[in-house]
Amino acid sequence: GKEFHGTGDVFASLFISRMLKNNDVMESTLYAMQTVAAMIKRNMGNNDLFDGLNLGICLDLLN
């Protein structure tokens, strides 16, 4: 399968952003998991795997 570099960094950033908005650990984890999964799906057609996730095509997933 494909590997996407940087997904752990993105997960951590999303998780911390939710924790700083006073969400609990479960809500923050769920948000980070769902968002990273959606980003991976969106990047499945990306053939340049050395660059990791193309976040530019995923900005609309962030809220």
C-alpha torsion angle, residues 40, 41, 45, 50 (rounded to 10): 0
- What's the pLDDT band for 45 if we cut at 50, 70, 90? confident
Q: Both tokens of residue 29?
A: 């984890």
Please tell me the predicted confidence (pLDDT) of residue 17. Answer: 98
Tell if the pTM clears 0.95, that is, is over it. no
Please give the average per-residue pLDDT across 26-41, as a whole number.
98
Is residue 57 within 8 Å of residue 43, measured between CB atoms?
yes
